[in-house]
Amino acid sequence: MRILNLSGLSGIEYDKKNNLNQFLIIIMMGLVSMLSAEADDKHPSYNLFRYNEDWSELAHKEQLKSTDFFDPVKYIPLNQSGSNWLSFGFEERVRVEKWSDFQFDPSGTKDNQDAFVLNRIRTNVDLHLGPNLRLFAELKSAIEGFRSLPSNRRRQDRDTIDLQNLFADFTSPLGAVLSGDNRIVLRVGRQEMARGSERFIGSRNFANVRQSFDGINAMLYAGGWRFSAFGLRIVRDLSLGEVKPDSFNNFNLPDSNSGFFGIYGEGFVPSLLSNAIGFGPMGLDLYVLRRDDDQVFNGTGGNSDRYAVGGRLHGKFPMASFGYEIEGAYEFGNIHRQGQDADINASMFTVALNYQPTQRTPLAVGPVDLKMIQIGFDYASGDNNPGGDVQTFDPMFQTRHKFFGFMDFIGRFNIMDLRPRIDFSIGKRTTFRIDQHIFWRSEKQDALYSVSGGVIAPGRTGSNRYVGTETDLTLKHRLNRHTDIETGFSHFYTGDFLDNAALSEDSDWFYLMMTYTF
């Protein structure tokens, strides 16, 4: 086992002027934010999806106990009544990564040992013209510092400048049809989208280049539920050939060969039903999805027309400190090939139980206390015979980073994952988290797939199921409402299947990340 050598950080090869200057700028911004007053809890909070923020609350500043340095640009009234208003937002994130023996390569070459910088800027404008029309635009710039690992410069790392979001919302109120917020919203244009647990639809926020779509999304809000009916195309860098710096300067376009359609409902089971079975509030997701794209799984490739039908339950047990999550989905359809079609018959499920104490525990030592214990298991089906029909599950457009280890090696294809987790709080602003993932292949005849669906090692490599074990250590600290600092270390212990595939070297990963938001 090779231990990660952090001394290599001093030899990072990247555009030193650009990245170093940006890193210094973000530190300076963090220091400036420390000097500004800390806003009270009544201030709107920042959201991963900036369009979900509502800064119209700042129209009533007299109700706030304190102000924030950026309040003047978060709510700008454009008429006397304040029904027309404008808001500006900004985020910069800088991350340093250090890898050792990337993707288990035992060669020990310098190409598998690397340190580099990832930098992302997002800036948005949110215009509200009365209660029924809203325009939202977000620009992004994502660059990387000449990453030289075997996969070279990945499209998920670099997009020099592009539109992340550019959409219009048309809203029609429904009145008091049911209790709560009742309205229909039609969203048209380029948009990010996340639903439920993000196991099928998500943002991929940890990647330097977030995911977005072009299309139409009709949303119905009624009785505490949200129903979405959408038709979208994934937005990709469609530059052909070798990935070169200039190719990332082209504005991205929707992939005309890919389609994503669905109906997704999420809300809570009526309290009469959940109380009748002795449970508290019970969250429920129900969805039908369709993906049309070119795919290859275990020797079968072509245009895939794949449907997914599934649901998710989550909530608390009668004992308030214990919670649960259960999700399952079945996929069917066809892969169209020359000569004949191959049937799709795949599935997934996940189950997790957690304990979150509601008061200080006996394990507490000073400011350190137990925050959560969780045990979970994930299953995604694999193919039982190369060629022909396909049983390999496809997670479609899920958020990748948060499910199968933070190193982002393993994807939700032909995999089983037993995942214990424990979280600690350190005071009010710091958390420390330990995750363990133990991986097996679901089917011996199918490959081990990466997080993007590429083949790490083919099924013919061997009959062993055990892939390996990943340990993730993560420390997060909120410096103030604008500035977050995060660092982590991960180690992957290769198992029998990878050893037989001549991918026998354990991998290490270290990162340090700072995010500044207003």
Q: What are phi and psi of 501, to 5 degrees?
A: -90, 10
| Residue 476's pLDDT band (cuts 50, 70, 90) | very high
Mean pLDDT in residue range 15-23: 52
Q: Is the pLDDT assigned to residue 5 strictly greater than 90?
A: no
| Residue 25's pLDDT band (cuts 50, 70, 90) | low
- 450 has which bridge partners? 410
| CA dist., res. 207 & res. 482, Å (int) | 20
| CA dist., res. 224 & res. 367, Å (int) | 37
Nearest Cα neighbor of 185 from 212, 149, 222, 151 is 222
| CA dist., res. 286 & res. 288, Å (int) | 7
Q: Which domain holds residue 297?
A: 51-517
Residue identified by tokens 């309040």 is 71
3-class secondary structure, 98: strand
- Number of residues in the chain: 518
Mean pLDDT in residue range 414-434: 97
pLDDT for the residue 8: 45
Residue 504 located in a structural domain? yes
pLDDT for the residue 444: 93
* Count of domains forming the chain: 1
Which residues, 6+ apart, have CB-to-CB distance to 85 below 8 Å?
55, 56, 59, 75, 76, 77, 78, 127, 128
Residue 438 located in a structural domain? yes
Residue 12 located in a structural domain? no
- The CATH number assigned to the domain holding 80 equals 2.40.160.100
Q: Count CB atoms within 10 A of the CB of residue 281.
A: 12
Check if the beta carbon of residue 505 is closer than 8 Å to that of residue 2.
yes
Residue 167 located in a structural domain? yes
Residue identified by tokens 């199921």 is 465
Q: Mind listing the pLDDT tens digit for each residue in 94-119?
A: 999 998 888 776 555 556 788 889 99
The full DSSP string for 230-252 is EEEEEEE----SS--GGGGGSPP
| CA dist., res. 59 & res. 82, Å (int) | 7
Q: Mind listing the pLDDT tens digit for each residue in 42-57?
A: 678 899 999 999 998 8
Which residues, 6+ apart, have CB-to-CB distance to 443 below 8 Å?
381, 382, 383, 384, 391, 414, 459
What mean pLDDT value characterizes the chain? 85
The pTM (predicted TM-score) of the whole model is 0.88
Nearest Cα neighbor of 335 from 371, 292, 275 is 292
Q: Mind listing the pLDDT tens digit for each residue in 302-337?
A: 788 999 999 999 998 877 789 999 999 999 999 887
| CA dist., res. 50 & res. 89, Å (int) | 8
Which structure tokens are listed for 227? 């129903």
Q: Mind listing the pLDDT tens digit for each residue in 196-247?
A: 999 999 999 999 999 999 999 999 999 889 999 999 999 987 554 444 444 4
| CA dist., res. 409 & res. 400, Å (int) | 10
> What beta strand segments (E) does 452-499 contain?
455-457, 466-478, 483-494
3-class secondary structure, 353: strand
**Higher-pLDDT residue of 64, 152:** 64
Mean pLDDT in residue range 122-134: 97
3-class secondary structure, 168: strand
Residue 5 located in a structural domain? no
Residue 160 located in a structural domain? yes
pLDDT for the residue 243: 46
Which residues, 6+ apart, have CB-to-CB distance to 508 below 8 Å?
2, 3, 4, 99, 100, 101, 489, 490, 491, 492
pLDDT for the residue 267: 94
Check if the beta carbon of residue 390 is closer than 8 Å to that of residue 414.
no
Convert 28-44 into a string of H (helix), E (strand) and C (coil): HHHHHHHHCCCCCCCCC
Q: Count CB atoms within 10 A of the CB of residue 43.
A: 19
Residue 3 located in a structural domain? no
Mean pLDDT in residue range 442-459: 92
Nearest Cα neighbor of 212 from 246, 252, 272 is 252
390: which DSSP letter?
B
103 phi-psi bin (left φ>0, alpha ψ -120 to 50, beta other): left
Which residues, 6+ apart, have CB-to-CB distance to 448 below 8 Å?
410, 414, 415, 441, 455, 456, 457, 467, 497, 498, 501
21: which DSSP letter?
H
Residue 361 located in a structural domain? yes
How many helices (H) and strands (E) the chain has is answered by 4, 22
Using alpha carbons, list the distances in angstroms from residue 392 to 12, 21, 348, 414, 415.
39, 46, 10, 6, 10
| CA dist., res. 50 & res. 122, Å (int) | 10
pLDDT for the residue 459: 87
